[in-house]
Amino acid sequence: MTVEVDFSLLDVTRQVPVDDNDAYLRAALAWHFGAETGSAFWLRIAPTLGFDPLTEVTSYADLARFPNVLAELRTVPVADLVPRGYGTPPPVPQIFESGGTTGAPKRTVQLPDWIAQTIEWHTDDWTSSGYVRGRGLLGVMPSGPHGVGYFARLVSAGLGSVFHTVDLDPRWVKRLAAREAAAEVAAYVSHLVEQVGYVLQTQDVANLLTTPPLLQQIVRRDDLLKLVRSKIGYVVLSGASIDVDTLDLLRAMLPATTITMTYGSTMILSQTHTRPESPDSPAFESFVFDPRSPYVHFRVIDPATGEPVPYGERGQVVMNHISKGMFLPNNLERDTAIRVPGPPGQVGDSVTEIAPVAAFEGEPVIEGVY
């Protein structure tokens, strides 16, 4: 008997996600492994899986059966990643690459529908957490092949903000750090901070998007600390981890500035939602991140056993991305986190207190400034 699949469940943009997570998963599997709709990438891999994803994957837990194929994203032609169901010719995708922390960068494709959805999420998150609309945004983040700079430019335009940016090449910083060239790292960071100063001294900016290490370096300069205090009302941190003590110190140094943070990855094609503080609960010591379920969900596991760690314990993060445009299941990330229960209706775990593992895929993990 043929089961009808409603592919419209995969359509975005949506103000709220579909209300039947299991139906969404069934539609996604039928799409990505259907001969007429799937990508060349997954249709090539499907016969090697040892199970039939159309009949034997019946729950989100079953996604753990898939191999972690992300290493192939370093070399696969990007045209092979676009699902056939988008038609011929398909929409032109945007290509974004990882930071190259563990070697050659991995590539993902983002099609116009997913980009529009991501922009909506970013816009909602920023405006609900204190973004100063109509005033300038200074982005001290990677651009080029990295998605964060691309999306910041589009979101700021929608919020009526002039976007100022500083060039940042995280791969070069990581290479310098890997060979312990501390003086060269310091010189590059000093160069970045100098560029920040030029914008702060001359332009109308009230919002700042940067990484935790760079914000720490910016506020170490007395003249820039004074400018940030007088001009910047809203800071979004992303791209690197931060410990609770450092976050508390930054909040103390910038008491009138709203500091928020987001956690994302090129491999989930998005960023998480930063859980807002509740009026009836004390302020969080650290940010809690809720993935965009059912498009993205996390598991926090003991890497030695593959089993979930108890809530409140630290484990390694497994990421899953399931959308119309891409299917990337069972990706063991280079991050550890504290496992937190998700809000009602969410698939999988929420996370807090993100930190990098010491080594990943046989290579030391170097965050650098991103």
The 10s digit of each residue's pLDDT in 88-138 is 999 999 999 987 766 788 999 999 999 999 999 999 999 999 999 999 999
The residue-averaged pLDDT of 297-319 equals: 96
Structure confidence at residue 370 as a pLDDT band (50, 70, 90): low
Structure confidence at residue 367 as a pLDDT band (50, 70, 90): low
The residue-averaged pLDDT of 18-33 equals: 97
User: What integer pLDDT is reported at residue 353 of this predicted model?
Assistant: 92
DSSP β-bridge partners for residue 94? 110
Other C-beta atoms within 10 Å of 214: how many?
23
User: Who wins on pLDDT, 77 or 360?
Assistant: 77
Domains in the chain: how many in total? 1
User: What integer pLDDT is reported at residue 232 of this predicted model?
Assistant: 98
26 in any annotated domain = yes
Structure confidence at residue 260 as a pLDDT band (50, 70, 90): very high
Which two tokens mark 70? Answer: 């992300």
48 in any annotated domain = yes
C-alpha 347/C-alpha 345 separation (Å) is 7
64 in any annotated domain = yes
Per-position b or e across 267-296, b if 16+ CB within 10 A of its CB: bbbbbbbbbeeeeeeeeeeebbbbbbbbbb
The residue-averaged pLDDT of 182-202 equals: 95
User: What integer pLDDT is reported at residue 1 of this predicted model?
Assistant: 38
The residue-averaged pLDDT of 287-310 equals: 96
User: What integer pLDDT is reported at residue 120 of this predicted model?
Assistant: 97
213 in any annotated domain = no
CB contact at 8 A, 126 and 160: no
**Which residues form the domain of 36?**
12-90
In this structure, of 52-66, 166-180, 310-324, the range with the lowest mean pLDDT score is: 166-180
Tell whether the model's pLDDT for residue 281 goes beyond 60. Answer: no
What are the pLDDT digits (tens) for 346-364? 999 999 999 988 755 555 5
What is the 3 state secondary structure string of the chain? CCCCCCHHHHCCCCCCCCCCHHHHHHHHHHHHCCCCCCCHHHHHHHHHCCCCHHHHCCCHHHHHHCCCCHHHHHCCCHHHHCCHHHCCCCCCCEEEECCCCCCCCCEEEECHHHHHHHHHHHHHHHHHHCCCCCCEEEECCCCCCCHHHHHHHHHHHHCCCCEEECCCCHHHHHHHHHCCCHHHHHHHHHHHHHHHHHHHHHCCEEEEEECHHHHHHHHHCHHHHHHHHHHCCEEEECCCCCCHHHHHHHHHHCCCCEEEECCEEHHHCEECEECCCCCCCCCCCCCEEECCCCCEEEEEECCCCCCECCCCCEEEEEEEEECCCCEEEEEEEEEEEEEECCCCCCCCEEEEEEEECCEECCEECCCCCC
Structure confidence at residue 300 as a pLDDT band (50, 70, 90): very high
CB contact at 8 A, 160 and 137: no
What are the pLDDT digits (tens) for 202-215? 999 999 999 999 99
Amino acid making up residue 38: G
Structure confidence at residue 276 as a pLDDT band (50, 70, 90): confident
99 in any annotated domain = no
Other C-beta atoms within 10 Å of 79: how many?
12
Q: What is the pTM assigned to this prediction?
A: 0.92
Amino acid making up residue 330: N
Q: Maximum distance among all alpha carbons in the chain?
A: 72
Tell whether the model's pLDDT for residue 9 goes beyond 50. Answer: yes
51 in any annotated domain = yes
Return the closest-CA partner of residue 83 out of 145, 14, 26, 29: 29
335 in any annotated domain = no
C-alpha 294/C-alpha 369 separation (Å) is 31
Structure confidence at residue 231 as a pLDDT band (50, 70, 90): very high
In this structure, of 192-196, 221-225, 330-334, the range with the lowest mean pLDDT score is: 330-334
Other C-beta atoms within 10 Å of 207: how many?
27
Other C-beta atoms within 10 Å of 66: how many?
19
User: What integer pLDDT is reported at residue 3 of this predicted model?
Assistant: 61
User: What integer pLDDT is reported at residue 131 of this predicted model?
Assistant: 97
295 in any annotated domain = no
Structure confidence at residue 279 as a pLDDT band (50, 70, 90): very low
User: What integer pLDDT is reported at residue 364 of this predicted model?
Assistant: 56
